[in-house]
Structures are given as C-alpha cells and as structure tokens.
C-alpha cells in the first residue's frame, strides 16, 4: 500500500451543459507518494459532472519514482466515480509504459479518496 497527498488540483471547463444536463471539465493533478510507491505524479483527468453533483472520470497518470526500491516511471489509466464527497477509482498500468527498473511492471490499483489530506492507494503490481 502507498499513501498519496494531492499537491495541486487545477480544474477548468471544457463544455457547460447547454444541450445536455452534463458538464465536461478537465483537471491536472499533482501528487506526492510515500510507501510502496515513492515519488511524484501528474494526472490529466476528463470529468463529466451531472446535475446531482456526481461525476464520472477517466485519466492518465504518469508516476516517476520508486516501486519497491526499483526506479523508473509508469503510466496508469484511471476510471472512476465521484459521489457523496468521495472519489473511487481503479487504475491499470498501461502496458509498455514502464521505464528504467520498472520497464516490465504490470498490474492494477484502486483508491477511495474523500476530504482527508492523505489517501490510500492499494497496489497489485508485479515486476
């Protein structure tokens, strides 16, 4: 398991709901990781907000640092849902995206993030 903190979150409108009830937004998030993963990342999200306040999101996160003391970078595909003040997401390593000692890494992860400052990422990776 790793823990991450969100260092910055910049969100902007892509399309306000004119002909639809949904609003499309994009976000760039910078994170800092400690634990099994140690390093930093940048995630680019596309979010679809509904009038009830929930949102579906997809994105790609690029992590740079260490996994179990092996250095390199990986790209992760995100899919998730935000509702009732909590974001839940699943991540999968994009095959072939690993560099350095993480070149052969594969697997998935999941998180649940609410209002707290630090969030848990449960990894199921293999080298």
So where are the chain's domains?
1-60
Q: Is the pLDDT of residue 94 over 70?
A: yes
Per-residue confidence at 81, pLDDT binned at 50, 70, 90?
very high
- Per-residue confidence (pLDDT) for residue 19, from 0 to 100: 64
> What does residue 2 show for φ and ψ, rounded to 5 degrees?
-125, 160
Measured CA to CA, the distance from residue 106 to residue 124 in angstroms comes to 9
The fold of the 1-60 domain, in CATH, is: AOC barrel-like (2.40.350)
Q: What is the value of pTM for the model shown?
A: 0.92
What is the rounded distance in angstroms from the CA atom of residue 37 to the CA atom of residue 96? 19
Q: What is the pLDDT of residue 4?
A: 97
Tens-place pLDDT, residues 36-59 = 999 999 999 999 999 898 999 999
By CB atoms closer than 10 A (0-12, 13-18, 19+), residue 32 is: middle
Strands 2-15 and 37-49: unpaired
């Amino acid at each position: 398991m790793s823990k991450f903190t969100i260092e910055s979150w910049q969100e902007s409108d892509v399309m306000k709901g004119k002909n639809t009830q949904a609003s499309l937004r994009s976000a760039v998030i910078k994170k800092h990781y400690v634990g099994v993963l140690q390093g930093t990342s940048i995630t680019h999200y596309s979010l679809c907000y509904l009038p009830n306040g929930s949102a579906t999101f997809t994105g790609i996160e690029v992590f740079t640092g260490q996994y179990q003391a092996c250095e390199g970078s990986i790209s992760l595909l995100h899919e998730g849902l935000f509702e009732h003040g909590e974001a839940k997401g699943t991540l999968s390593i994009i095959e072939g995206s690993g560099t350095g000692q993480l070149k052969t890494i594969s697997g998935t992860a999941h998180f649940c993030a609410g209002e707290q400052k630090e969030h848990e990422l449960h990894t199921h990776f293999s080298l």
